[in-house]
Amino acid sequence: MATVELKDVRKVYGGKVEAVKGVSIDIPDGQMCVLVGPSGCGKSTLLRMIAGLEEITDGTVSIGGQVVNTFGPAERDIAMVFQNYALYPHMKVYDNMAYGLRNRGTPKDEIDRRVREAAGILGLEDFLERKPRELSGGQRQRVAMGRAIVRKPKAFLFDEPLSNLDAKLRGQMRIEIKSLQRSLGVTSVYVTHDQVEAMTLADTLVVMNSGVAEQIDTPLAIYEKPASVFVAGFIGSPAMNLLAGEIAENGRGVKLVGGAYLKPRDTVLPEVGRSVLLGVRPEHLTLVSDANNADFQLKVTTVETLGADTLAHGHPVDGDPKSSELIVRLSGDVQVRHGDVLPLAIDAGKAHMFDAGTGKRI
Amino acid sequence: MADAASTKTRAEVFGRREQGGMLGISKSSRYVAHAILILGVLIVAFPIYYTFTASTHSLQTILRPPLPLTPGDHFFKNYYDAIFGGVGRIGGVSVDLLLFNTTVMALGIAVGKILISILSAFAIVFFRFPGRMLFFWLIFITLMLPVEVRILPTYKVMVDLNLIDTYAGLVLPLIASATATLLFRQFFMTIPGELLEAARVDGAGPWRFFKDILMPLSKTNIAALFVIMFIYGWTQYLWPLLVTNRNDMNTIVIALRKMISFADADTQWHLVMVTSILAILPPVLVVVFMQRWFVKGLVETEK
């Protein structure tokens, strides 16, 4: 158990391609930090640098207060869970878990005790004599976790460990990983491209985009106050509606590209004439009965019925269908049809303003 | 047919064809296929059988045609003479020594080739060192230089190193193998990088990784190569002919040739036949024994 600290960590490939552009993260002892972002954003590279599988071009990685830049993966005392499990195919489950301990010269009875303990935690007692190929995907994932647990490392590193499982199993394993990490209290770094995984697992969430940590905060803070357009669009499903426009005169709110006006309540507007992106999450648009209380009228073009929710796609009646397209999340019992016009209000204080040029939050 | 019922069910399931199963091979064409196969077996097996028959007759019987088609009564005498008595035309060297020489050579070549090629493939695939690709291509182009092409310089080197008439001289020049190196290289490249990384995180250095993970995963490849290389070594002719002068260093294939004189009467044909049978026995045993291993390796896919 230890803290993990990254300080201005950079990775440059072949002197040209900058995969990670100076990331600093402090992970307190026993916490779970999730790195999330689209493919190629540098999250895996960052994790591999923490693991020691990738050289650090610049900056420092410390584990437990000690700079480990020059240490090999084994000396860093970390354990890693890989995307494709990376189990040794010719070894039994028992040997897979024991291998790392054997290489460290742990006494035989200690190895046996730890492997059986980990197998107990993960419900693998009956599979210890089997080979990985005789196991299902979920069981293999457990073995990979077991291999990490037996080592009692300073930190766990997870590299998209659930992406090869089917949706149902993924949800189940997600909860297992969370409770396991809690009960073991081991500092963890978890890489994923799945924002649901990211939101549910993280104590600290790091949203990465093209080598930069766009925002580092608790999952809820990131959901409520995304620091940039990228974070706003990445976290949340369906994605936040982002409408381009500029601040209109006479306090009329935001003049959208298509011509419609939108005036969010309880939101401080920047100076008149500034080009902005107005962001509203689909769940923060409410259907109002009285058209006079509505902020705008939505002309519905497509309806997705999900059961619990209904997603209505459309655009403001007086707006351009293309540039001001948005999605509304309605309760499942609302009957909506293609072509309907819905009076909608933006929930007070739930609108986000981003600078159109920099994409940063205003 | 014992399972006529099941055949019928199958025919019903597929809604056509009365017999012949899923591939739709009719009974008559199956007979033809078997007839061709049996004919092939006869053509291949008959000379071997005839050699065996000849090895159980006395020299007199062999020299007085026609040679009987059934085995004679000299089996034990002939085999005892050959294995323990020695054959006159090759300086009284007995066949057991020849078998020993050939086994040393074939095993040396097979094991040496596998060791060298698996190690060089390991170096080429898993290490980044200057000139890595240069070495790879150097190994690769030796494919174009078989023993026959480089035989004179190789012979000179062996003479200079005083390796004529030694086991080392028989084995060493033949153990470098570009083919086996390439085979292992291709196999190693299919091993997922994650496996290597997992081993590194587990504290396995290169040697441990090689010993604990690569070697066990290469079992099937090693078995296959062993069979091929053992037979390759066993049947070597040109190189042992050059590098051995003494009769007691001959391999069985060379000795066999030396046993046969141009004058028929000089040749102890019954011993030649015994030697021939003994010469083909070890490779056959290797194939038969390793084949089971081979199939086991193929069925239990490890990856």
β-sheet with A66-67: strand ranges across: A17-27, A4-13, A58-63, A66-67
Flag whether B132 is in a domain.
yes
**Confidence band, pLDDT 50/70/90 cuts, at residue B25:** low
Which residue numbers in chain A have pLDDT < 50?
A: none
Flag whether B35 is in a domain.
no
- For residue A288 the two structure tokens come to 């109002």
- For residue B234 the two structure tokens come to 């066993």
- For residue A175 the two structure tokens come to 């909860």
Q: Do B201 and A99 touch (CB under 8 A)?
A: no
Flag whether B81 is in a domain.
no
Note whether A6 and A25 are within 8 A (CB): yes
Which 8-state DSSP code applies to residue B80? H
pLDDT of residue B17: 47
Of A87, A100, A133, the CB nearest to B203: A100
Please state at what angle helix A137-149 crosses helix A108-122, rounded to 10 degrees. 140
Flag whether B171 is in a domain.
yes
pLDDT of residue B78: 85
pLDDT at B273 over 80: yes
Shortest CA distance from A76: residue in chain B: B201
**Is the CB of residue B211 less than 8 Å away from at least one CB of chain A?**
no
Average pLDDT over residues B235-256: 88
**Is the CB of residue B77 less than 8 Å away from at least one CB of chain A?**
no
Flag whether B17 is in a domain.
no
Q: Do A53 and B217 touch (CB under 8 A)?
A: no
Of B198, B201, B217, the CB nearest to A90: B217
Q: Is B224 exposed, middle or buried (0-12, 13-18, 19+ CB in 10 A)?
A: middle
Residue A299's H or E segment, with its range, is strand A296-305
Tell which phi-psi region holds residue B291, choosing left (phi > 0), alpha (psi between -120 and 50) or beta: alpha
User: How far apart are alpha carbons B185 and B122 in whole angstroms?
Assistant: 7
pLDDT of residue B262: 64
Note whether A362 and A236 are within 8 A (CB): no
Sequential DSSP letters for B158-206: HHHTT-TTSHHHHHGGG---HHHHHHHHHHHHTS-HHHHHHHHHTT--H
Q: Which residues of A touch B195 (CB under 8 A)?
A: 86, 88
Shortest CA distance from A84: residue in chain B: B194
- For residue A164 the two structure tokens come to 């090869």
Of B194, B208, B303, the CB nearest to A103: B208
User: How far apart are alpha carbons A346 and A323 in whole angstroms?
Assistant: 19
* CATH, domain range A4-233: 3.40.50.300
Distance from CA of A100 to the nearest CA of B (A): 4
Q: Which residues of B touch A103 (CB under 8 A)?
A: 202-204, 208
> Count of alpha carbons within 13 Å of A220, Cβ hemisphere only?
1
Mutate to test the interface with B, among A55, A77, A85, A88 (most CBs of B within 10 A): A88
Average pLDDT over residues B87-105: 83
- For residue A167 the two structure tokens come to 């949706």
Checking DSSP bridges between strand A309-316 and strand A78-81, what pairing results, if any? unpaired
CATH of the domain at B154: 1.10.3720.10
pLDDT of residue B22: 53
Which 8-state DSSP code applies to residue B266? G
Checking DSSP bridges between strand A275-280 and strand A309-316, what pairing results, if any? unpaired
- Note down the domain range covering B147: 94-299
pLDDT of residue B5: 42
Q: Do A99 and B202 touch (CB under 8 A)?
A: yes
User: How far apart are alpha carbons A155 and A148 in whole angstroms?
Assistant: 9
Q: Do B201 and A133 touch (CB under 8 A)?
A: no
Looking at the DSSP assignment, which residues form a beta bridge with residue A10? A21, A58
Looking at the DSSP assignment, which residues form a beta bridge with residue A352? A279
Q: What is the pLDDT of residues A37-76, one digit of tens each?
A: 999 899 999 999 999 999 999 999 999 999 999 999 999 9
Note whether A97 and A115 are within 8 A (CB): yes
Shortest CA distance from B207: residue in chain A: A103
Of A86, A89, A147, the CB nearest to B217: A89
Q: Which residues of B touch A104 (CB under 8 A)?
A: 203
215-244 in B: which are within 8 Å (CB) of A? 216-217
**Is the CB of residue B200 less than 8 Å away from at least one CB of chain A?**
yes
Residue A341's H or E segment, with its range, is strand A341-346
Flag whether B268 is in a domain.
yes
β-sheet with A296-305: strand ranges across: A285-287, A341-346, A296-305, A309-316, A326-331
Structural domain count of chain B? 1
ipTM comes to 0.84
Backbone φ, ψ for residue A355 (5° rounding): -70, 130
Shortest CA distance from A85: residue in chain B: B194
Q: Is A316 exposed, middle or buried (0-12, 13-18, 19+ CB in 10 A)?
A: buried
User: How far apart are alpha carbons B262 and B93 in whole angstroms?
Assistant: 20
Domain boundary assignment for chain A: 4-233, 245-355
Shortest CA distance from B202: residue in chain A: A100
Backbone φ, ψ for residue A86 (5° rounding): 50, 45
Flag whether B70 is in a domain.
no
Mutate to test the interface with A, among B201, B219, B220 (most CBs of A within 10 A): B201
Average pLDDT, chain B: 83
Sequential DSSP letters for A85-137: ----TTS-HHHHHHHHHHHTT--HHHHHHHHHHHHHHHT-GGGTTS-GGGS-H
**Greatest C-alpha distance within chain A:** 79
**Confidence band, pLDDT 50/70/90 cuts, at residue B105:** very high
Q: Which residues of B touch A153 (CB under 8 A)?
A: none
pLDDT at B139 over 90: no
Backbone φ, ψ for residue A338 (5° rounding): -55, 130
* Side chain identity at residue B214, one-letter code: L
pLDDT at B116 over 90: yes
Looking at CATH, the fold of the domain delimited by A245-355 is given as OB fold (Dihydrolipoamide Acetyltransferase, E2P) (2.40.50)
The 10 Å Cβ neighbour count of residue A194 is 16
Which 8-state DSSP code applies to residue B87? B
Q: Which residues of A touch B302 (CB under 8 A)?
A: 89-90, 133
pLDDT of residue B73: 84
- For residue A102 the two structure tokens come to 């054997």
**Greatest C-alpha distance within chain B:** 77
Average pLDDT over residues B104-130: 93
Flag whether B172 is in a domain.
yes
Shortest CA distance from B297: residue in chain A: A90
Across chain B, the runs of DSSP E, i.e. the strands, are none
pLDDT of residue B1: 37
